[in-house]
Amino acid sequence: MAASITRKRRGRFRRYGPPLLLISPSVILIGIFVYGLIGSAFQTSMTSAHSAAEFTGKQPTEFVFLGNYTAWLATKEAHHALLNQLIFTAVFLGGTLSLGFLWAWLLDKRAKAEGIFRSVYLFPMAVSAVAAGVVWKWLLNPNRDAKAYGLNRLFQTLGLDFMQNSWWTKNLTWGIAAIAMPAIWQMAGYVMALFLAGFRGIPNELREAARVDGANEWKLYRHVIFPQLSPVALSAIIIIGHMSLKTFDLIMSISKHTNYQTKIPAIEMYRYMAEGDYANAAMVGVVLLLIVLVLIIPYLIHTTRAEKNR
Amino acid sequence: MRRISFLTAGMAAIALTLSGCGGSGDEKTTDSSAATEASETTEAPETTPADTDTETTEPEETEPAGTGALVEGASGELDIFTWWTAGSEALGLEQLILVLEAKYPDIEFVNGGNAAGQGGSGKEVLATRMNAGDPPDTFQAHAGKEMQDYIDADQLTDVGYLYDQFGLRDAFPEDLVAMLTQDGKIYSIPSNVHRANVLWASVPALEAAGLSTTDAYYASIDDFIAALEQVKTNAPDITPLSIGTTWCQVHLLETVLIAELGADGYNGLFDGTTDWAGADVTAALEKFATLMSYTNEDRDSVEWEPPIQMIEEGTAAFNIMGDWAPASFDAYGSVAGADYLYAPSPGTQGIFDFLADAYGVTNGAPHPKAAEAWIDVISSKEGQIGFNKVKGSIPARVDIDLEAEGFSAYQLSAAEDFASNAIVGSIQHGCAVTIKQGNAINEAVSKFNTGATDLAGFQAELVTAMS
Amino acid sequence: MSALDTGVVSHGVTESRVGQHGFPWGKALRHLLLIVFLAIVLIPVYVLLVTSFKTQTDAQPAHAWLLPNEWTLENWKKAWNGPSAAVPGVGPAMIRTFQLVIPSTIISAFLGSMNGYVLSRWRFPHANAVFTFLLFGMFIPYQAVMVPLYRLVQWLKPVTSWVDALPTVPDGIPILILLHVVYGIPITTLIFRNYYESVPQELIEAARVDGAGMLRTYASVVLPISVPSFVVVLIWQFTSAWNDFLFAKFFVANPDKSVVTIALNNLAGGSIMSDHGVEMAAALLASFPTLIIYVALGKYFLGGLMAGSVKG
C-alpha cells in the first residue's frame, strides 16, 4: 500500500513536477508583487492611517474594519467619481469597439495600401499618454467663435459651427465623455487589429457554405461572422475595460487632478496618496479591484466553460 | 510698487536702504563667507540666464576649493529631492550646484528629484520615499504648513541651530522667521521668495477699455469689479480677467480674502481667530464669484501661462498671478510699463502674500553633514543671488544689495515690499495650509466654479476643509 | 502564418467578383471612408508636427492649425540634446530606455511563453486556477500599493545595487526591468496560452510520444512555431515599457539619468514656462521607436493576434 502510494507519487511528480517547476517562479513573483501587495493595501485600508505619522506608527491607529469604505461611498464626491468612471468606460469601450470593428470591416475586404491604413490607425498607441495629453488639451479647448482654437476652430472652418462645444469643462455629468476621445484615438487601432485578425481567422469554408445555403449578407454576419468574432470582442472588452480604470496619465495631462469635472477613482487615489492618507488611498484601490473582479469574473467563467466544451 | 513711475523714482532710495542692510549683514557673517561673496560679485556682476552656460566652469577654476564653507567635514554624496527640473528653475538649480561645488568640492550632488508638470509636483514620490524609510538628505517643499505632515511624523529635524550657525535670524525678515517657527522649533530654510498677490494688466487692453494705463492698483475689490465691468462694456472682445485652472482660481480666492479681511483677518483664518463661516468671509466669496463671472471660458483647461499670454497679446485686460509671470513676459518680449503694468492685487497694498521654496534636513538623512552644507549653500548670499537672479524670484535674505547685483526693476520693488510690508502666507502655495487642507480647498473651489455647489455649500465646504 | 495568407487571398477573390459589374461603387466608398478616418486619426499628429517646427512665441494653442510663421529645426535639436545644460534631452534618455525595454521585453516573452506552454499543453491539476491566479495580476492598482512596493524594492536593493554597479548599466534600470517583467507576466501568459491552445495538439503530442521531455519539446517543437505570439508580446511589452511613466517616476531616482517619458515630462511640464515646440518635437521623437516597430512588424502582429484570438 505504502509502496504504491510512493510509486504513484513519484509518477505524479514525474508528470507534474517539471511544469510546476517551470511555472513556479511566475507564481511566486505574482504572489509577492501582486497578492502580497494587495494584502498589504487591504490591511491598510481597514485602519485609520490618514497621515504620515499614523502610517509610520509615530501615532497610534485603530482598526476601523470597513469604516473607510462606508464613509467614502457615502459621499457625493465618490458617487460623482464612480459615475464619471462608468460613463468614461462606457464611451471608451463603445468608441474603440465600434471604430475598431468598422475599420477592420473596411480593411478586411482587401483595401488598397492596407499596410498604410493599418499603421496609421495603430500609430496613436505608440504615443505616450503624456505626449498625447498635450495635444489633446489644445484640441479640446472650450473657447468658441472668435476666441476658438482647437477642434472648435476646426468645426468653424468646416462650417460645422453647431458642433462647437465646451468638451469636458462645463457639463458635470457628461463632460468626462470628452476625455474618452483621446483614449479612443489611442486604442481604437489596437481593437481594429484584434478584429481584423478575427475576421481573417474565420475559415473561408464557413462563409462559402453560408452563401451556398442562400444566406444574404446580413444573415451571414448574424449567424456566421458575429459568433466567430465574439471571443475577440470579449478580449477587447477586457483589455480596454481594465485600461479605462487606470486612465490616469491622460486625465492628469489634459485636465488636472483638482478639476472636479474629471474626477475618477484613480485620481481620488492619487490625491489621497499625495496627502499621506494611505488608508483612503488603499481603500479606493481596493474598490477599483472589486470593480475589476465584477468585470473579469464573467470572462473567466466564459473561458472555463468554453474550454470544457471543447 | 504703487506705480511704475513711482517705482523708478524711488529706486535710488530703495537701493540705499538695501545696501545699508547688506553692510550690517556682512558684519554678522563670518569673514570667509564675506570674502567669497565679494569675489563672486566681482567675477560675475551681470549674470543673466543667457550667460549661464558659458560661465559654467568659471567659479570652479578660479576659486580655491572649499572657500566659505560653514559646515566642516562635509563630504560624500548629497541625495536631494527637488522638482526644479525644467525652465528657469533648472537653470537656477545649476547656479546653486556651482556654489556647492565651489564651497564643498568634496560633496557629490546626486539629484534624486523628480518630474514636475504633468505628473504633479512629485510630492507623492517624496511622500513614498519618506514613509517607506528611504528619505533623501534634504528635499524641496513650500515653506510653511505644507511640511506639517512630515513634521508630525517626526521626519524632519529642527534646524534652528543652523539659523544660529549661519546667522540667518538676522538675514531673514523677522516676520518670516516667526512664521516658520513652531513651538520654538524651525524646520525649513527658504531659498527664494515669491509674491502671490500681484495684478498684471495689459496696456493696450486698458487703452481700449478707457482705463488708466499708468496705474493698475485698485484700492478695493469693488473698484476692481467696476473696472472689469468697464472693460466688458467698452471692449466686449477683450476678456476682463484671464485665469487658469483650479489652482489659479484658488490663487485668486486667496487674494480676495486678503483684500476683504485685511492681513490680520486673513491670518486669523489659520489660527482660528477669524471664522471661515463668518459673514465677512461670505461677502468675500460673493465677490470672488463676481470676479469669476468676468473670466475666460477655457479657464479650467489652461495652466497659468496661456492666461498671461492673453495679457501679452492684449486679448485680456487683467490677470492675478504670482511673480513668476515676468518669465513669460520676458520670453514674449513684453516690457513692463510699456506693454504691461503690475501692481499689488486689488485691495492688498502694503501686504505681501508670501510663498517660498524651502529645504529641510530629514530625520535619518543618510548624509546629514551634506544636507547641512546644502542649507548653507541655498541660504548663503552667493547662493541666493545666483539662484534668484536666474529664477526671477527674490532672495529671502534682506541683506543683499540687489541693485548692485543687477536684479530687475520688478525684483527690486518686490524686495522692497518684502522688507517693509506685512507678510501673510499663501494658501495655494503651501504656506498657510497643509497639503490635505489645500486639496480640500481646491476641490471646494472647483465644485463651486463648475456649479456643483452654491455659495452656501461652498462656504460650508471651506469650513470643513479647514476644520 | 500560412493560414493567414490563404485567408487573405480568398477574400480578395470574392471582392473582385463583385467588382466586375461596372464601376465598383462599394469599393470606392470603402476607400473614401478609410481616407476620412485616416485624416481624423492624423489631426492630432498634424498639430504635433507643425508645432514642432514653430518658434517659442508661435508655438501656442491659439495657433494650433496654422503653419509655422517661420520654420525652425531648433526645437528638434533642443528636444534631442536638452534645451539647456541643466535640462537633459530625450536623446540620451532614449538610449537608456532601450537598455530597459529590450531586456525586459525579451525576458517577458520567454517567461510568458513557458507559462503559456505549461498552462495549455503540459497541464497539471488546477492549471486553470493557476492561470486565473496569474491573470488577475493584470488588474493591480499600482498607486494603491506604491508604499509597500517601494519597501519591497528597498529590500531587494542588495541584489539590484550589485547589478547597478556593473559598468554600462544605468542606475535604477535593473529594478525597472524586474517590475516590467513581473507585471508583464499576466498579459504575456495570456497571449501565449491562447496561442498554444490554438496550435494543433498533434504536433506536441507527437513529440511527447517520441519520449521527448518537457523542455526538449518546448525547445524543438513549441518555440519554433511561437513567432507570431512573440511578435504580439514584443509589441505589447515594448509599448508599455517604453511609455511607462509611473514606475520610472518612483524608481529611477535621478531625473537627469532617467528614461524617455521622464525626460519628455521634464521638457513638457516645468512649473515655470513651457516651450511647446520643444515639447511636441520631443513627443514625436519619443514615439518613433514604437512606430518603427509597428510598421516593421505590423503584418506579423496581425498574424499573431489572429492565431491567439481565434479561440479566445
Mean pLDDT of C251-274: 75
User: Looking at the predicted structure, is the pLDDT value of residue B29 above 50?
Assistant: no
Q: Is it the case that residue C15 has pLDDT exceeding 60? A: no
**pLDDT at position B35:** 37
Rounded CA-CA distance A171/A47 in Å is: 36
Q: Using the beta-carbon criterion (under 8 Å), do A34 and C140 form an inter-chain contact? A: yes
Check residue B46 and give its pLDDT. Answer: 38
Residue A260 has pLDDT above 90, yes or no: yes
Asked if residue B2 belongs to a domain, the reply is: no
What pLDDT was estimated at residue C4? Answer: 33
Selected residue with higher pLDDT from B332 and C14: B332
| pLDDT in the model for residue B76 | 87
**Chain C residues closer than 8 Å to B125 by CB:** 249-250
**3-state helix/strand/coil string of chain C:** CHHHHHHHHHHHHHHHHHCCCCCCHHHHHHHHHHHHHHHHHHHHHHHHHHHHCCCCCCCCHHHCCCCCCCCCCHHHHHHHHCCECCECCHHHHHHHHHHHHHHHHHHHHHHHHHHHHHHHHCCCCCHHHHHHHHHHHHHCCHHHHHHHHHHHHHHCHHHHHHHHCCCCCCCCHHHHHHHHHHHHHHHHHHHHHHHHHHCCHHHHHHHHHCCCCHHHHHHHHHHHHHHHHHHHHHHHHHHHHHCCCHHHHHHCCCHHHCCHHHHHHHHHCCCCCCCHHHHHHHHHHHHHHHHHHHHHHHHHHHHHHHHHHCCC
- Are residues B291 and B366 both part of a single domain? no
B89–C270 C-beta distance less than 8 A = yes
Q: A214 versus B434: which is more confidently predicted?
A: B434
| C280 touches C268 (CB < 8 A) | no
CB–CB contact B86 C87 (8 Å): yes
The whole-angstrom separation of Cα B256 and Cα B271 is 19
Among residues of chain A, what percentage have pLDDT more than 70? 94
The pLDDT-based confidence of C308 (bands split at 50, 70, 90) is low
Does residue B419 lie within any of the structural domains? no
Cβ atoms of C144 and A281 within 8 Å: the answer is yes
Task: Select from A182, B115, A189, A128 the least CA-distant residue to C289.
Answer: A128
Say yes or no for a CB contact (<8 Å) between A274 and B120.
yes
Query: Which amino acid, C139?
Result: F
**Residue B20: pLDDT band with limits 50, 70, 90:** very low
CA distance A246 to A39: 20
Compute chain C's Rg from CA coordinates. Answer: 24
Strands B76-81 and B107-111: parallel
| Residues of C in Cβ contact (< 8 Å) with B85 | 87, 255, 266, 270
Hey, are the CB atoms on A135 and C139 less than 8 Å from each other?
no
C-alpha cell at A138: 489644445
Residues of A in Cβ contact (< 8 Å) with C47:
135, 138-139
In a domain, B132, yes or no: yes
What strands lie across the sheet with B239-242, from one edge to the other?
Answer: B239-242, B316-320, B198-202, B340-344
Which structural domain range is residue B294 located in? 198-353+425-466
**Nearest residue, CB atoms, C139 vs list A118, A150, A292:** A292
As a whole number of angstroms, the distance between CA B380 and CA B302 comes to 37
For residue A271, list chain B residues with Cβ-Cβ distance below 8 A. 439
What pLDDT score was predicted for residue A228? 82
Looking at the fold, whether B181 and B211 belong to one and the same domain comes out as: no
Higher-confidence residue: C156 or A90? A90
Q: How far away is chain B from the Cα of A98, in angstroms, using its nearest Cα?
A: 28
Q: Is the CATH number 1.10.3720.10 carried by domain C90-309? A: yes
- The answer on pLDDT for B161 being more than 70 is yes
Q: Where are the domains of chain C?
A: 2-73, 90-309
Q: Over pLDDT 90: what percentage of chain A?
A: 44
Statement to judge: residues B368 and B343 lie in one domain: no
Q: Does residue B338 register a pLDDT over 60?
A: yes
Alpha-carbon distance C70 to nearest alpha carbon in chain A (angstroms): 20
**Phi, psi for B300 (deg, rounded to 5):** -70, -20
CA C165 from chain centre, in angstroms, equals 28
Nearest-angstrom CA–CA distance, C19 and A172: 50
Quote the mean pLDDT of chain A.
Answer: 87
Q: What average pLDDT does this structure show over A195-212?
A: 84
Contact B452 A260 (CB under 8 A): yes
How does residue C122 score in pLDDT terms, banded at 50, 70 and 90?
confident
Q: Give CA B226 to chain center in angstroms.
A: 29
pLDDT in tens, A167-197: 998 899 999 999 999 999 999 999 998 898 8
CATH topology of domain A71-309: MetI-like fold (1.10.3720)
Domain borders along chain A are 71-309
C253/B132 Cβ within 8 A: no
Say whether both B127 and B208 belong to one domain: no
Least confident range of A184-188, B114-118, B354-358: B114-118
Say how many domains are in chain B: 2
- Alpha-carbon distance A280 to C85, whole Å? 41
Chain A residues touching C11 at Cβ < 8 A: 108-110, 200, 204
Compute the average pLDDT of residues B96-110: 92
C72/chain A closest Cα distance in angstroms: 19
Which helix or strand (DSSP H or E) is residue B140 part of?
strand B138-142
Examine residue B390 and state whether it is found in any structural domain, yes or no.
yes
Over residues B274-297, the pLDDT tens digits come to 999 999 999 999 999 999 999 999
Structure confidence by residue, pLDDT tens digits, C24-61: 888 889 999 999 999 999 999 999 999 999 988 788 88
> Does residue B127 have a pLDDT over 80?
yes
Give the chain C residue nearest A242 (alpha carbons): C139
Which pLDDT band holds residue A4 (cuts at 50, 70, 90)?
low
Q: With pLDDT > 90 as the criterion, what percentage of chain C qualifies?
A: 28
Name the band, by pLDDT with cuts 50, 70 and 90, for residue B58: very low
pLDDT of C268 over the 60 cut: yes
CATH number of domain containing B119: 3.40.190.10
Res B31 pLDDT > 70: no
Determine which of A58-62, A134-138, B36-40 has the lowest per-residue pLDDT on average: B36-40
User: How far apart are alpha carbons A240 and C189 in whole angstroms?
Assistant: 18
Reported ipTM = 0.89
Does C146 contact chain B (CB < 8 Å)? yes
User: Could you tell me the pLDDT band of residue C214, with boundaries at 50, 70 and 90?
Assistant: confident
C176: pLDDT strictly greater than 60: yes
Dump pLDDT digits (tens) for B190-245.
Answer: 999 999 999 999 999 999 999 999 999 999 999 999 999 999 999 999 999 999 99
Q: Residue B244's closest CA among B320, B328, B310, B300? A: B300
How would residue C12 be classed by pLDDT, with cut points 50, 70 and 90? very low
Set of cell numbers at residue B377 = 549653500
Encode pLDDT of B183-205 as tens digits. Answer: 899 999 999 999 999 999 999 99
**Taking Cα atoms as reference points, which of B6, B405, B358, B429 lies closest to residue B186?**
B358
Backbone angles phi, psi at A182, to 5 degrees: -60, -35
Q: Which of B111, B132, B324 is facing C151, going by the closest CB pair?
A: B132
Tell me what pLDDT residue A255 has: 86
Q: Is B132 helix (H, G, I), strand (E, B) or coil?
A: coil
Whether C12 has its CB under 8 Å from any CB of chain A: the answer is yes
Question: Residue C20: its pLDDT value, please?
Answer: 52
Find chain B residues with C-beta within 8 A of C268's C-beta.
117-118
Going by pLDDT thresholds of 50, 70 and 90, the confidence category of residue B153 is very high
What pLDDT was estimated at residue C270? 53
B260 vs B467 pLDDT, higher one? B260
Contact B391 C262 (CB under 8 A): no
User: Which one of B318-322, B417-421, C211-215 scores highest in mean pLDDT?
Assistant: B318-322
pLDDT at B16 over 70: no
Domain-located, residue B8: no
What tens digit of pLDDT does each residue of A64-79 get? 999 999 999 999 999 9
With 70 as the cut, is the pLDDT of residue C3 above it?
no
- What pLDDT is recorded for position C7? 33
Q: For residues A135-144, give the mean pLDDT.
A: 90
Nearest to C85 by CA among B98, B59, B60, B66: B98
* Residues of chain A contacting residue C305, judged by C-beta atoms under 8 Å apart: 193-194, 196-197
